[in-house]
């Protein structure tokens, strides 16, 4: 199900009330003209799975509401997506990097626009 970013929190809260009690994964995809964040949630009683996706503009720093208050397990997912794709999650306090890789600090390595090359290699 594709939704508008403004509806994300409401849609996930509704699904949680309907029994989707487990967040399996949050992932991001760069399609060059836009970014997409996909939430995979699971109902452990009915064994149903739902995919909720949100498209974001391909800007330097897109913003999406955090869902950590709905699914606490989204913590590391949101932090990784922020570090690798540059998507900020509104309503978060701890956005400490997980991988702490040494690249130029301005670009995001899982974006299609990221230019891998000698200037990004770790200095010895």
| 5-22 average pLDDT score | 96
What is the reported pLDDT for 104?
58
* Domain definitions of the chain by residue range: 2-116
Residue matched to tokens 């400490």: 96
Which CATH number is 2-116 given?
Answer: 3.30.460.80
* Whole-structure pTM value: 0.85
Average pLDDT over the chain reads 87
Element (H, E) at 28: strand 22-30
Comparing 76 with 114, the larger pLDDT belongs to 76
111: pLDDT strictly greater than 50: yes
């Amino acid at each position: 199900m594709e939704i508008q970013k403004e509806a994300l929190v409401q849609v996930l809260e509704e699904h949680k009330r309907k029994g989707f009690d487990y967040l399996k994964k949050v992932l991001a995809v760069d399609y060059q003209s836009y970014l997409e964040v996909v939430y995979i949630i699971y109902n452990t009683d009915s064994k149903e799975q739902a995919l909720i996706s949100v498209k974001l503009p391909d800007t330097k720093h897109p913003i999406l509401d955090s869902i950590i208050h709905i699914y606490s397990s989204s913590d590391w997912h949101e932090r990784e997506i922020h570090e690798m794709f540059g998507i900020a999650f509104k309503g978060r306090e701890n956005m400490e990097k997980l991988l702490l890789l040494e690249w130029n600090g301005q670009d995001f390595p899982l974006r299609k626009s990221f230019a891998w090359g000698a200037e990004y290699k770790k200095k010895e």
